Amino acid sequence: MDTKKSVIVIGAGLGGLGTACLLAKKGYTVTLIEKNSTVGGRARVFEKDGFVFDMGPSWYMMPDVFDHFFSLMGEKTSDYYNLQKLAPSYRIILKSDMKHYDFYGDIVKNTETFETLEPGSGKVLVKFLEKLKLQYSIAYNEFMFKNYNSILDFMSWSVAKVGYKLPLLRKQKAIIESKFKSEILQKVMQYQMILLGTAPGDCPGIYSMMNYVDFGLGVWYPDGGIWQLPRALEAMAKKHGVNIMTNTEVEQILIENNTANGVRLADGTVLSADIVVSNADVTFTDEHLLAPEYRQHSPEYWDSRVLAPSAFILYLGVEGKIPTLEHHNLIFAKDWQKGFEQIFDKPEWPTDPSFYLCMPSKTDPSVAPANHENIFVLVPIASGLEYTPEFEKEYTEKILDEIQQYAGVENIRGRIKYQQVYSVKDFQKDYNAYKGTALGLAHTFSQTALFRPNNVHKKVPNLFYAGAGTNPGIGMPICLISAELVYKRITGSKDVHPLKEL
């Protein structure tokens, strides 16, 4: 390991920022290149007329992972932002009967709610969560922070000793349906898979540990907004000397004799480095940043991958308070299964969508002017969907009607002070996202762990990948783990556990 080496990181998403931080702290000379005007990637922010909109993520889950990352940097999250645990974590509204239910990061409270919805289910929940807690701890300590090279990595004695306790082969949906019989509880226990961009019927059972993450660890919020996280990472990166270049697009990764030696920018400038890390989406990196002889897959291969959904997003600034909504609100469609079919099987615009409404101004007055609400609406849709500007307007009207009808927001049109749509084409343009996917590759069995794109190029040993497209996968905390995995690769660490120090 030679920490005098220079590293270029392409993309300042959380994976890129995280990698830059860890390597710079270790002493590498790091340049971080980002095409957009600010860092954060999908976790960017924009401000308009006093409304502060987090553009993408809004659920701060697995606080332990963030704490761990900051501790590697010799810091604490509380040095940068104040976290509060949301109570309730979220509200679920059923379109079918307009009833709503609140869920907490509190097992006792949730048990009571479960009992009212399905007698006997409270005990089942408690037992299930105990098992999931153990599975989470095994996954955290033995699997998530480990780099995989071959199937043999799954066959070591240390993995075998605990691996049998994990539901590696059953599907998440099947596990939930074997425990909870009522439709509402099945939905409550399955929606977390959508955060991973995957239909519960296609998601390996191991991801049930997300139920523990949800109910056991809770949902948190950094005062000021989620963008406090990229802001903190940017500050730490700068503190350790990372040269951050925004408004700068990489056009090609330069490789000679199977060795990456730098990048060429869109303006033709060549920057040299000993090591290159791409945090741009894996498909884009393969198809556009690599010369044909170094591409790892064909266009047909990428076309055959299961993509996580894209999204139809509305950023709304609304006058007056909205007492019917909590900070996080999930509105579930009558025909939930059809929703998955329209996203994954027969892509089309959802006719009766399940959707998500985030209203951070419920918790945090700093994200909206006084007596206004800041609302982020997200309808999961299939990646690659086509639309015209007229259709975009039509669909916006449909969603506004739905918000009025199901979320109890009266006279919404008359109260909107700011409105902005963000969808498939914006993901493509802003992040070079393949088919405009919001999240990347879904977490199906054949796109998980060993089967997910590896974080090191097969033929170019000094070219690495960080972010949602590689291991472990989608989500803010998970992308920080991806940074640690790249750090281990570059520094030659074979440690399979969360690092204790750099």
When the beta carbons of 279 and 374 are compared against ligand FAD, the nearer one is: 279
Q: Which residues contact 36 (CB under 8 A, 6 or more apart)?
A: 12, 44, 246, 247, 430
- 42 near ligand FAD, judged by CB under 6 A: yes
Q: Minimum Å distance from CB 210 to ligand FAD?
A: 11
Query: Which of residues 227, 431, 434, 465 is near ligand FAD by CB under 6 A?
Result: 431
- Contact segment (CB under 6 A) with ligand FAD among 31-39, 153-161, 184-192, 333-341 equals 31-39
When the beta carbons of 284 and 340 are compared against ligand FAD, the nearer one is: 284
- 138 near ligand FAD, judged by CB under 6 A: no
What residues pair up with 31 in beta bridges, in sequence order?
8, 243
Identity of the residue numbered 485: L
Q: Minimum Å distance from CB 55 to ligand FAD?
A: 7
- 36 near ligand FAD, judged by CB under 6 A: yes
Length of the chain: 502
| Beta strands 259-265 and 250-256, pairing class | antiparallel
DSSP code of residue 164: T
- Contact segment (CB under 6 A) with ligand FAD among 38-46, 104-112, 299-307, 484-492 equals 38-46
| Beta strands 355-358 and 372-381, pairing class | antiparallel
CA 177 to chain centre: 25
- 72 near ligand FAD, judged by CB under 6 A: no
Q: Which residue is nearest to ligand FAD (CB)?
A: 13
Binding mask 273-312 for ligand FAD (x = CB under 6 A): ------xx---x--------------------------x-
CB 32 within 8 A of CB 80: no
- 57 near ligand FAD, judged by CB under 6 A: yes
Closest CA to 284 of 408, 45, 109, 468: 468
What does the alpha-carbon distance between residue 239 and residue 63 come to, in Å, rounded to a whole number?
Answer: 23
- 356 near ligand FAD, judged by CB under 6 A: no
CB 41 within 8 A of CB 280: no
Query: Which of residues 23, 32, 43, 242 is near ligand FAD by CB under 6 A?
Result: 43
Q: Minimum Å distance from CB 97 to ligand FAD?
A: 27
Using the structure block, give the residue that is written with the tokens 């390996």. Answer: 204
- 479 near ligand FAD, judged by CB under 6 A: yes
- 472 near ligand FAD, judged by CB under 6 A: no
Query: 53 in the Ramachandran plot: left (φ > 0), alpha (ψ -120 to 50) or beta?
Result: beta
Query: Which of residues 7, 8, 9, 15 is near ligand FAD by CB under 6 A?
Result: 15
- 475 near ligand FAD, judged by CB under 6 A: yes
- Contact segment (CB under 6 A) with ligand FAD among 28-36, 116-124, 213-221, 400-408 equals 28-36
DSSP 276-333: EEE-S-HHHIIIIIS-GGG-SS-HHHHHTSPBPPEEEEEEEEEES--TT--SEEEEE-
Closest CA to 121 of 183, 173, 58: 183
- Contact segment (CB under 6 A) with ligand FAD among 53-61, 175-183, 337-345, 386-394 equals 53-61
- 11 near ligand FAD, judged by CB under 6 A: yes
Provide the binding-site residues for ligand FAD, judged by CB under 6 A.
10-16, 33-36, 41-43, 56-59, 249-250, 279-280, 284, 311, 378, 431-432, 438-439, 467-468, 474-476, 479
